[in-house]
Amino acid sequence: MAVQESVLIFLAIFSPTVLAYSGIKGAYWPSWEADALSPASIPTSYFTHLFYAFVEVNNATYELSITQPDDKWMGNFTATLHAKSPSPKVILSIGGANTGTMFSDTVSSHKRRSAFINSTIVVARKYGFDGLDLDWEFPNSILDMSNLATFFTAWRFAVDKEARVSGKPRILLSAAVYYSSEMFSTSPPLSYPGHVIKKYVDFVSPMCFDFHGTWDPLKTGSPAPLYDNYSNLSTSYGISSWLKSGVPSDKVVMGLPTYGRTWELVNSSDHNIGSPALGAGSPPVLTYDQIVDFNLENNATVVYDEATVSTYSYSGKNWTGYDNVESVINKVKFAKDQGLGGYFFWALGDDKNWVLSAAASKAWDS
């Protein structure tokens, strides 16, 4: 079914305001893009939780490594957003892509865990964060998962104790996790410690995107399908696995992408999901902002795919899979129907005039 992008964007912006539905409406702020997207420019009416991404870990001390740009921006980030109305919870995210070995080492002993945990609390209080978020991509052994369970337990005990001693509100704890509670890329598959997460973590955020991309170069694919009738690579499968893991539904916050992935078609007349491709397009990744502009400039055909609840566009041999307003709205409705704790976007700054953020917020609040 062809979709008129401009109509959906208009509806997302100008549909009536409705009463809020409690839950998390989150997004990550890439701090390296601070000059292009200042904290002051973020419209907090669309968000309840905003994540500062990322700080890293010192591989000698196992404490947080605060760079000069971090020191400059973290206090600005928290103070600016806390001063806004409405005022969101502001969370410091630690890690990011390719952090497997670093976090594996960090949680491997009591001494290292303690150094890390104490450092996170000190930094959170110093810069005014309401919470801490672990983005470990990804645990890759049974021992890693066992140590992660021990770490979550110790982290929660530490922030509980600090809150009692300081008299301040407890620091929230969250984690960005694999889209599924089981990781299939390892042998045998690994399972996150759902029973520990249930007790000690405030919420987890499955990264429900990057199911298809440059690693699947010879056929097009939806980067973040809600459903896939042919595999387990879908948001619905991942969320279902998390709910079966013992983590309460209201502690699961579903990930949404604000970017798409591109392919070069073999034949411009064969342009469906799963059509033959010569390889990744150039560039292989486009932000939603860039996608909308490209579609307009190239008179691309935009298609909302009901089977996968995703969107794609094509012009000549250029093919892009992504989420637009319609697919985002339907994914958020799915999250509500499942009783989830909310949703989050990766990442701020990739939206087109905040239309995806506005659409998701209104869908969640309806």
Which domain does 173 fall in, by range?
Answer: 21-258+324-365
Does the pLDDT at position 263 exceed 90?
A: yes
Query: How far is residue 51's CA from residue 285's CA, in Å, rounded to a whole number?
Result: 22
Q: Residue with structure tokens 């064969």?
A: 270
Q: Is position 312 within any domain?
A: no
pLDDT of residue 109: 98
Lowest mean pLDDT among 9-23, 208-222, 261-275, 296-310: 9-23
Q: Is residue 165 part of a domain?
A: yes
Joined tokens for residue 27: 């997004």
163 located within any domain: yes
Q: Is residue 328 part of a domain?
A: yes
Instruction: Decide which of 7 and 294 is more confident.
Output: 294
Give the pLDDT confidence score for residue 15 in this predicted structure: 40
Residue 355 lies in a domain: yes
Residue 230: pLDDT band with limits 50, 70, 90: very high
**If pLDDT is split at 50, 70 and 90, which confidence band does 360 have?**
very high
Side chain identity, residue 111: K
83 pLDDT above the threshold of 50: yes
- The confidence score (pLDDT) of residue 22 equals 86
> Up-side HSE of residue 225: CA atoms within 13 Å toward CB?
22
Average pLDDT in the 140-154 region?
97
Sequence-separated (6 or more) residues with CB below 8 Å from residue 283: 262
Predicted confidence (pLDDT) per residue in 101-134, tens digit: 999 999 999 999 999 999 999 999 999 999 999 9
Would you list the DSSP string of 141-158? Answer: SHHHHHHHHHHHHHHHHH
* Amino acid 188: pLDDT: 84
One DSSP character per residue, 173-208 reads EEEEE-SSSEETTSSS-EE--HHHHHHH-SEEEE--
With CA atoms as reference, report the closest residue to 348 among 14, 2, 47, 74: 47
61: pLDDT strictly greater than 90: yes
Q: Which of 137, 264, 297, 306 is catalytic?
A: 137
Task: Judge residue 188's burial from the number of C-beta atoms within 10 Å of its C-beta, 0-12 exposed, 13-18 middle, 19 or more buried.
Answer: exposed
Q: Report if residue 361 sits inside a domain.
A: yes
Statement: residue 19 has pLDDT above 60: no
pLDDT of residue 7: 43
Is residue 15 a part of any domain in this protein?
A: no
pLDDT(268) > 80: yes
CATH of the domain at 164: 3.20.20.80
| Chain mean pLDDT for the chain | 94
The pLDDT of 16-32, averaged and rounded, is: 76
pLDDT (0 to 100) of residue 140: 93
Whether residue 304 contacts residue 314, with contact meaning beta carbons closer than 8 Å, is answered with no
Q: What pLDDT, on the 0 to 100 scale, is given for residue 218?
A: 97
Does any domain span residue 1?
no
pLDDT tier, 18 (very low <50, low <70, confident <90, very high otherwise): very low
Q: With a cut of 70, say whether residue 147 has pLDDT above it.
A: yes
Region 240-256 average pLDDT: 98
How many domains is the chain built from? 1
137 is catalytic: yes
Report the alpha-carbon distance of residue 256 to residue 274 in Å, rounded: 21
Q: Are 366 and 21 in contact (CB under 8 A)?
A: yes
